[in-house]
Amino acid sequence: MRVVIIEDERPNILRLKKLLAEIDATIEVVATLDTVTGSVAWFQENEAPDVALMDIRIADGLSFDIFPKVHVPCPVIFTTAYDEYAVRAFKVNSLDYLLKPVEKDDLQQALAKVNVAKEPQDANVLVQQLLELVNKKQPAYRTRFMIPFRDGYKTVNVSEVDFIHYSHTITYLVLKDGNQLPISLTMEELEEQLNPEEFFRVNRQHIIHAGSIDSIQNYSGSKLRIVLKRDPQREIMVSREKVPVFKEWLDK
């Protein structure tokens, strides 16, 4: 079986490769891609694989953006956290949808579905059906956090969060009053759980709220530098690859 992995987080790529090797040593990962642009070019220039393992949010946008730009003839298995209704949609369509961290048994069952499919369907059509279902039913995003506090817990509303940063293996909520609160969630989990209309992951270390931005400055190499209202000394850079998506997110 020939597999393409579309994913922009190296630990997730390594995990998928390890699981695939354990499931079947003959499985060949023919490409690992981390952008919409790179994925479109790859499908245009290469023979179709047997299956594509796709994260939804990748370096320069959503993997859904691949399908209007190029024909994807192979089955797709999504490997990410997302709306429960999207999960149900894929179950109906006989493709699969695996929540991170992907488990070996789940991946093995998903690959088995691809193998036994008598009439493989066009991935473009299936993804379009998924998008229609997701648009009909908007996902419920996180509205608050339960944070360990002294001998118990306290509740923090998402509306109190100014930005989020990751440092030395710990994720912190930074509140509008300046307090920093460590949480057990990863940046990937938060990126999926927070409303993307309000929050944007500008790089691996920072997720910012739209209201936290004071100004945006051009930087070398076609990058952007974000200056925060409440922490103007913090260096927050938007990579060249993410600049178009970031501008689109703000310009609404």
**What is the block-wise mean pLDDT of the chain (252 residues), using blocks of 10 residues?**
93 94 95 95 94 88 86 85 51 63 90 67 63 57 89 92 94 95 92 91 95 93 92 92 89 80
Per-residue pLDDT at 36: 92
Kindly tell me the sign of the dihedral angle through the C-alpha atoms of 122, 127, 133, 136.
Answer: negative
Question: Residue 211 is encoded by which pair of tokens?
Answer: 């209201």
For 9-69, what is the HEC assignment? Answer: CHHHHHHHHHHHHHHCCCCEEEEEECCHHHHHHHHHHCCCCCEEEECCEECCEEHHHHCCC
Walk me through the domains of the chain, giving residue ranges and CATH numbers: 2-136 (3.40.50.2300), 144-250 (2.40.50.40)
pLDDT at 222: 87
Tell me what pLDDT residue 221 has.
Answer: 78
Tell me how far apart the alpha carbons of residues 38 and 93 are, in angstroms, rounded to a whole number.
26
The pLDDT of residue 91 is: 44
User: What residues does 164 pair with on adjacent strands?
Assistant: 173, 207
Q: What is the pLDDT of residue 152?
A: 86
pLDDT recorded at residue 63: 85
pTM of the complete model:
0.55
pLDDT of residue 121: 56
The pLDDT of residue 113 is 80
pLDDT of residue 92: 34
Q: Please return the burial class of 45, using the count of CB atoms within 10 Å of its CB with bins 0-12, 13-18 and 19+.
A: exposed
For 88, the enclosing helix (H) or strand (E) is helix 84-92
